[in-house]
Amino acid sequence: MDTVPISSSVRLAFDEDGYVVLRGVLDAPTVGALRDAASCVFDQVVGATLAQQVAHPRLTWWRLPDGRAYVFKVKPVADLAPAFSNVARGQTLSAVASALLGAEVEPMEDKITYKEALKADVLWAALPVLGEEVRKHSDATYFAARGFSRVLTVAVCLDDCPAEAGALRVWPGTHRRPVEYVPTADQGPVVPDESAPDDDAATLTAEAGTVLVWDAALVHASEANLTDKPRRLLVLGYTAVGR
């Protein structure tokens, strides 16, 4: 993997909008290795959960209104497969995050978002009932509570992400202004429509291998995956060395 040059115009756009889409960053063999690792981790974590009838501590899941169990993410993952740690700590994505943040960076979080409903019955699991969509929110408050002043989220598209697959939606510029938050019972604080109108959103459609970068303070969301194909993201958090 080579270093990706970040031009001054890209940095300015990132500062203004709070996100950037970098296409073709990772080569096909690297993306293929990440896909294989994501499948292995899914089998490992979900398989252990179903076999033991105890939720794996890395698993975030819930039940859909139709009764199916729904795997949202597994976190952390970098220690489960060399493909993940090599990319998370490798030069390519670290250099991208460093150029956009304007400081030397280090990884501080890693996960895979799967957004996949299970075929197996899990009637034994007491799960909250939620939809597939991820409601409008930002992560800055969550990271600040952990002592991180600013975090960049870097997401690698392991699969093609068309709009109908629940591609990421962002609200440009919301990282630079205060937004309102409303508490919820099961999804944490969410941003009401008045603070982030749907008409102001940008949908980040992307091909596999594309890298999406956004400021953790940016309001973002995603809809359900309406296709019959996976829409997995390797999601990494970077912060300045020494914070």
pLDDT of residue 243: 67
pLDDT of residue 21: 97
- DSSP letters for 64-90: -TTS-EEEEEE---TTT-HHHHHHHSS
Per-residue CA distances from 146 to 51, 101, 125, 142, 176 (Å): 33, 19, 30, 7, 21
Q: If you ran DSSP here, which 8-state letter would residue 3 be given?
A: P
The one-digit pLDDT tens for each residue of the chain (243 residues) are 456 779 999 999 999 999 999 998 899 999 999 999 999 999 999 999 999 999 999 999 999 999 999 999 999 999 999 999 999 999 999 999 999 999 999 999 999 999 999 999 999 999 999 999 999 999 998 999 999 999 999 999 999 999 999 999 999 999 999 999 999 988 889 999 999 999 999 999 999 999 999 999 999 999 999 999 999 999 999 999 986
What whole-number distance in Å separates Cα of residue 155 and Cα of residue 158?
Answer: 9
CATH code, residues 8-240: 2.60.120.620
Q: Which tokens in the block code for residue 149?
A: 């002043």
Q: How, if at all, do strands 105-117 and 233-240 pair?
A: antiparallel
pTM greater than 0.75: yes
Q: Which tokens in the block code for residue 122?
A: 């899990």
pLDDT of residue 117: 94
**CB-side neighbour CA atoms (13 Å) of 25:** 28
pLDDT of residue 242: 80
